[in-house]
Amino acid sequence: MDRPELPLPQLHAFLLLAEELHFGRAAARLGVAQPPFSQQIRRLEERVGYPLFSRGPGRVALTPAGAALLPAARTALGGLADGLAAARAVGGGRAGRLRIGFAASLALTVLPGLLHTFRSSHPEVTLEIREMTSAPQLDALREGGIDLGLLREPPATEPELEFRTVLDEPLVAVLPRGHPLAAQVSVRVDQLADDPFVLLPREAGPGLYDRITGLCTAAGFTPQIAQHAVEWPTVCALVEAGLGVSLAPAGLRRIRLRGVACRRLTPAAHTRVAVAWRTGDPNPLVAHLLAALGWGPSSNPRLRGDGP
């Protein structure tokens, strides 16, 4: 047997009358005249098949059928009100879910400030933070797996995505503590020509890999890659173990491994860190995050990384 569908306006009228037990006052709360209000109640009773209220001179009371309907009416209307409020909050960018991918090394520089700033202005938003290297972030953005990415050396052109620079982070030479160059304040890239290198694999972040190897090429040599590691902390650990040297983002100095020395490069070299998102993404939280951090078309980002 099919269940009768009860229109929400009739349930609303029923709930008001159950609270007031007076047709005139209930109609006034609904903002309608009493005759059409009474018609709503009669139509609901016809749908149910039984009287919901007993009427007498100066007296209105719930019948057993009405008392049985009351909890369900409250639940239905309360759920609708909650749903409307939630829809308005999400649609207005005050609530919802924002999925952010980030390169692991940015947890040492950009990410904490980003999360703190956005969380303070949007406390009801659920943030899903996913550690990913740069290339997988681009794939996840194209496929809808994340809403925003924080990555290094974004591609020059990408039709489906937009990028905005967060900071230009210095690159440093990462050396074993006992390396002869560790005694210097700064290191030229060409001084590393005879050393084996430890780097992230190119597929993890083609832009940064090409940036580092390009610096070596410009210095007159092709780096000999002795070992690859997927994350920068692992690169530092392998350098500490004596497997080679590396060029890495300056934020890695915060790892503070005893057996590793980080020295600035002469001349200075940088790696570009950018936020990325899908062009025309309808999620209002994407625009709200950019606006909250001051990343408008002509503004400068509020986040900064390590200096040289």
Residues 157 and 278 in one domain: yes
Residue 280 confidence (pLDDT): 87
Does residue 140 sit within a domain? yes
- State how far the Cα of 116 lies from the Cα of 292, in Å rounded to an integer: 11
Choose the final residue of a domain: 41, 68, 91: 91
Residues 142 and 230 in one domain: no
Does residue 104 sit within a domain? yes
- State how far the Cα of 276 lies from the Cα of 150, in Å rounded to an integer: 6
Per-residue pLDDT of the chain (308 residues; tens, 9 = 90+): 345 555 778 888 888 888 888 888 988 988 889 898 889 889 988 888 889 898 888 788 889 888 888 888 888 877 776 656 656 655 665 557 889 999 888 887 888 888 888 888 778 788 889 999 888 999 999 999 999 999 999 988 888 899 998 889 999 999 999 999 999 999 999 999 999 999 999 998 899 999 999 999 999 999 999 999 988 889 999 999 999 999 999 988 888 788 999 999 999 999 999 999 999 888 888 888 787 666 543 333 433 334 33
- State how far the Cα of 26 lies from the Cα of 121, in Å rounded to an integer: 40
Domains held by the chain: number: 3
Query: What CATH number is attached to the domain comprising 145?
Result: 3.40.190.10
Residue 307 confidence (pLDDT): 38
Handedness of CA 277, 248, 307, 211 (dihedral sign): negative
246 CB contacts (<8 Å, ≥6 apart)?
173, 174, 197, 198, 199, 235, 236, 239
Residues 176 and 264 in one domain: yes
- State how far the Cα of 41 lies from the Cα of 304, in Å rounded to an integer: 64
Query: What CATH number is attached to the domain comprising 85?
Result: 1.10.10.10
In eight-state DSSP terms, residue 245 is B
Residues 187 and 262 in one domain: yes
Residues 260 and 191 in one domain: yes
SS3 for 144?
coil
> Six-digit token pair at 235?
């690169």
Identify the CA nearest to 169 among candidates 306, 300, 51.
306
Query: What CATH number is attached to the domain comprising 249?
Result: 3.40.190.290
Q: Which residues constitute the domain of residue 252?
A: 168-271
Residues 82 and 107 in one domain: no
Handedness of CA 195, 201, 206, 207 (dihedral sign): negative
Residues 155 and 281 in one domain: yes
Report whether 137 contacts 103 (CB < 8 A).
Answer: yes
Which residue is it, tokens 């609708």? 80
Residues 200 and 220 in one domain: yes
Residues 28 and 86 in one domain: yes
Reported residue count of the chain is: 308
- State how far the Cα of 282 lies from the Cα of 45, in Å rounded to an integer: 44
Residues 153 and 203 in one domain: no
